[in-house]
Amino acid sequence: MEVIICPSYEEMSIMAAREVASLLNTKPNAVLGLATGSTPRGLYAELVRMHKEEGLDFSQVTTFNLDEYVGLPDDHPQSYHYFMREHLFKHVNIPEQNIHIPSGTTRNHVAFCEWYERRIKECGGIDLQILGIGADGHIAFNEPGSSLGSRTRIKTLAAQTIKDNARFFEKEEDVPIYAITMGVGTILEARRLLLLANGENKAEAVRNAIEGPVCSMVTASALQLHPRSMIFLDEAAAGKLQMADYYKWVQQNKPGAPKPEV
Which residues participate in catalysis according to the annotation?
A: 67, 136, 138, 143
C-alpha separations of 137 from 22, 177, 217, 218, 221 in Å = 28, 18, 8, 5, 8
Residues between 21 and 40 that touch ligand F6R (CB under 6 A): 35-39
Q: How far is the CB of 191 from ligand F6R (least distance, A)?
A: 19
**Which of 35, 30, 32, 31 has the alpha carbon at shortest distance from 181?**
35
Which of 35/244 has CB closer to ligand F6R? 35
The window from 55-63, 128-136, 150-158, 253-261 that contacts ligand F6R (CB under 6 A) reads: 128-136
Residues between 137 and 156 that touch ligand F6R (CB under 6 A): 138-140
Q: Tell me the HSE value of 104 on the side-chain side, using a 13 A CA sphere.
A: 21
Q: How far is the CB of 153 from ligand F6R (least distance, A)?
A: 14
Which of 23/140 has CB closer to ligand F6R? 140
Which of 156/252 has CB closer to ligand F6R? 156
By CB under 6 A, tell whether 134 contacts ligand F6R: yes
State which of residues 42, 102, 132, 137 lies at the interface with ligand F6R (CB under 6 A). Answer: 132
The window from 49-57, 105-113, 136-144, 245-253 that contacts ligand F6R (CB under 6 A) reads: 136-144
Q: How far is the CB of 67 from ligand F6R (least distance, A)?
A: 5
Q: Terminus-to-terminus CA distance in the chain, angstroms?
A: 31
By CB under 6 A, tell whether 78 contacts ligand F6R: no
Q: How far is the CB of 133 from ligand F6R (least distance, A)?
A: 6
Vertex 219, ends 213 and 223: CA angle to 5°? 70
Q: How far is the CB of 238 from ligand F6R (least distance, A)?
A: 16
Residues between 50 and 69 that touch ligand F6R (CB under 6 A): 66-67
C-alpha separations of 38 from 35, 151, 169, 196 in Å = 10, 24, 13, 11
Measured CA to CA, the distance from residue 250 to residue 183 in angstroms comes to 31
Vertex 68, ends 219 and 98: CA angle to 5°? 105
Which of 70/140 has CB closer to ligand F6R? 140
205 exposed, middle or buried (CB, 10 Å; 0-12, 13-18, 19+)? buried
In the chain, count H helices and then E strands: 8, 10
Could you list the beta-strand ranges (E) of 96-206. 99-100, 128-131, 153-156, 178-181, 192-197
Measured CA to CA, the distance from residue 88 to residue 77 in angstroms comes to 15
The window from 92-100, 113-121, 131-139, 170-178 that contacts ligand F6R (CB under 6 A) reads: 131-139
Positions in the binding site for ligand F6R (CB under 6 A) = 35-39, 66-67, 132-134, 138-140
